Amino acid sequence: MRIIFLLLLIASIFNVLTGSAFSGENFYDQKRREMVEKDLKARGIKDEKVINAMLKVKRHLFVDKKYLDKAYEDHPLPIGEGQTISQPYVVALMTEALSLKGDERVLEIGTGSGYQAAILGEIVKEVYTVEIRKGLYEKAKERLKNLGYSNIFVKYGDGYYGWERHSPFDAIIVTASANHIPPPLLKQLKNGGRLIIPLGSTVFYQNLTLVHKDKDTFRVKELGHVLFVPMIGEVSKR
Ligand code: SAH
């Protein structure tokens, strides 16, 4: 009896030490599964590729240590410099709207924490992401490298101009709000490609807008209201 008690005690100490008890990976894995069921699937996210990526990418590694306990709640969270990581549902919704198959090259404007880029990196062949704030660019680049994403390329600069050298892209995702679509982005989108952007007032809410490019003409669909931090740089001068 005493031996069994001793073994149980050793096993629980081992669990705590290896972090697989309450504060460890199992805890976050569980939280992530709950997030996918409750905030994504129950609200209509269906694309298996998106669901698997959201199950796999550890959102708690992209948020400030201060917010670790909130990493799997369905809210945006501060990432420094007044910017935010988007809420999981919106990340899933925007990714799903791009109808990705897996062999695409995608451009993201607004790297932020790198979380959206990581989700895309799990699904497509190559991700190109541009960030205008140096501090955030450096942190995200380092984080994505440490996580082993060799198919994600991060650039410091104004995303208004896209990333011409690697264009055209199969899909473009803008994760900061703007009152118009930067023309260089429309130009760098392939025929047959999709672009998604929170479009409208950068002070109030925006319309999540999906654009299909076909034979150099554009079809536009609105997917609902969202609230994003504003895109800065060239876009705000026009
Ligand atoms: N996709 C991010 C969250 C984006 S928050 C994530 O998954 O964490 C919006 C980001 O857009 C901020 O980091 C902000 O600095 C950046 N941004 C704003 N204007 C930009 C511009 N003109 N070009 C590139 N990035 C821009």
Residue-number span of the structural domain to which 176 is assigned: 33-237
Of ligand 1's listed atoms, the one at least distance from the Cα of 235 is: 22
Q: Tell me, what's the pLDDT at 100?
A: 98
Report the distance separating Cα 136 and Cα 223, nearest Å: 28
Distance CA 131, CA 152 (A): 13
Of the listed ranges 192-196, 198-202, 217-221, the least confidently predicted one is 198-202
Please report whether residue 11 resides in a domain.
no
- HSE toward the beta carbon, residue 55, CA cutoff 13 A: 13
In a domain, 204, yes or no: yes
Total number of domains constituting the chain: 1
Cβ within 8 Å of residue 18, ≥6 positions away:
24
Q: Is the CB of 95 under 6 A from ligand 1?
A: no
CATH of the domain at 147: 3.40.50.150
Q: Does ligand 1 lie within 6 Å of residue 154's CB atom?
A: no
Give the best-scoring range by mean pLDDT among 10-14, 139-143, 203-207: 139-143
Write the residue with the smallest CA distance to atom 19 of ligand 1.
Answer: 231
Report yes or no on 57 lying in a domain.
yes
Residue 131, ligand 1, Cβ within 6 A: yes
208 in Cβ contact with 228 (< 8 Å): no
What percentage of the chain has pLDDT greater than the value 90? Answer: 87
pLDDT of 4 strictly over 90 = no
Exposed e or buried b per residue across 25-35, where buried means at least 16 C-beta atoms within 10 angstroms of its C-beta: eebbeebbeeb
Q: Is the CB of 113 under 6 A from ligand 1?
A: yes
Pocket test for ligand 1, best of 54, 232, 236 (most atoms within 8 A of CB): 232
27 part of a folded domain:
no
Residue 23 has pLDDT above 80, yes or no: no
Given a cut of 60, whether residue 1 has pLDDT beyond it is no
Segment 180-209 mean pLDDT: 95
Is residue 123 situated within a structural domain?
Answer: yes
For 53-83, write each residue's pLDDT tens digit: 999 999 999 999 999 999 999 999 999 999 9
64 lines ligand 1 (CB under 6 A): no
Q: Is the pLDDT of residue 19 over 50?
A: no
The model's pTM is 0.91
Q: How confident is the model at residue 15 (pLDDT cuts 50, 70, 90)?
A: very low
Active-site residue numbers?
Answer: 86
Beta strands in the chain (DSSP E): 77-80, 83-85, 105-109, 126-131, 152-156, 169-174, 189-200, 206-214, 217-226
Residue 116 lies in a domain: yes
Query: For all residues of the chain together, what is the average pLDDT?
Result: 92
Nearest CA to ligand 1 atom 12: 112
Which residue would you say has higher pLDDT here, 1 or 202? 202
Q: Is the dihedral of CA 38, 33, 139, 104 positive or negative?
A: negative
pLDDT tens readout for residues 138-157: 999 999 999 999 999 999 99
